[in-house]
A and B are shown apart, each in its own frame.
Chain A
Amino acid sequence: MKELDLLKKDWKKNSDSFEQISEKEIYKMIHKKSSSIVKWILIISILEISFWTFSNLFINTDDVLRKINHPEIVAALEYLTYLNYLVGLIFVFIFYKNYTTISTTVATKSLMSAILRTRKTVQYYVWYNLGMIVVTSILSFFIAFVYNPDMAFLREKLAVNGKAMLTTVGILILVILGFFGLFWCFYRLLYGTLLRRLYVNYKELKKIDF
């Protein structure tokens, strides 16, 4: 291509005509903070992981459990909590491992997939927690409804009125759906702006190679 050769000639002619940056300025630069997307992903990920871990700690169900007075349920819930901690630890480990593989000296495609992998781990952790919320809210609704003495009046009421039962379940489902919708929007907003360009470029690279 003739024009491209022309461009190359011009490119070479001008390749050392940039305003030079002094060593002093470079010294200053290397002590400044990076604003790369990897740094942002790391910050947001740590916030997310801590948020979900702490929110697990603060949900206090002791009072309700005492009232229910069914040791087998208490034991089951305790196991669930341990499982949660274990899963959390595994996620943190995988996240850390993925994060340390991010390196700017590898091929562009590998760098991109390393970043996306790190991102995905956190995403799975959030989805796991959201899933857990749904499971535990259904479970606790069920337990509260069946075993909690405070709920006896509601039980009787609902037993008579089938429509009320349907409404209660309907409201529960709506609340859960609304909750999910909110999270989904939040995620689109947060990571959409951060990762759009990376996704586009990653897709482009993959397209070339197939």
Chain B
Amino acid sequence: MDIVVCIKRVPAFGAQVPLTDDGSAVDTRHLGFTIGPHEECAVEEAVRLASAHGGRVTVLSVGPEEAGEQLRYALAMGAHQGVLVDTGTTDLDPEATATAVLAGLADEPEPDLVLFGDASADAGHGQVGIRVALARDLPVVGGITGLEIDTGGSLRATRESPSGTELFRVPMPAAVAVKEGLNLPRYPTLPGRLKAKKAELRTVTCDPEPGGLHTVGLRRPADDRAGAVPLGRGAGAAPAVVDVLAELGKV
């Protein structure tokens, strides 16, 4: 069972997202980069499925050369090969990103399953998986937090909703967008990291036409962080704690 997992290089930040002075982008000068939690689960799921059912896991990323770092992280988790679609940037709109993903998939053998994170951790459009599925004429299901292969060879996917659990049976090949909570992703091992370091990545260059979605600017929400307020020390703090709980309607 061959699986492709699409992952995105995204900045890792704390409580506050630093912006460039002109507000056009996230200021990444002092930030590290990572893959989002949804996509980390997608990689973990792919590695588990391949190890249970055989087959290979290919990770694919659209971005600058540096996105190789994220591909290698996924390889260290147990993916078998990596494809970098070098567009020089991760700041593409969803249409252009989908075009680039398709370019990366073009030379790969038809996978049984293409996994996406439900939405990227930075832009969060949640469109790329659907667009790729449409272009490849694949069934697609999103928001998935449970995935297994049933005896008939189709996928059983579950999605949590406020009104209950939705259960899908999806014929393969298929595209699936998964959410954090699907599994507990493993940490890469040392031997895994060393292997990943030496792995060859297949690089495809691509300069996709921009789509219709344009970012006008980024704005930080009004600073409503109240910060931590110490309520006191020891037993003396108890009345204040009760007040807060009462305010929250908990007592």
Query: Are A and B bound to each other?
Result: no
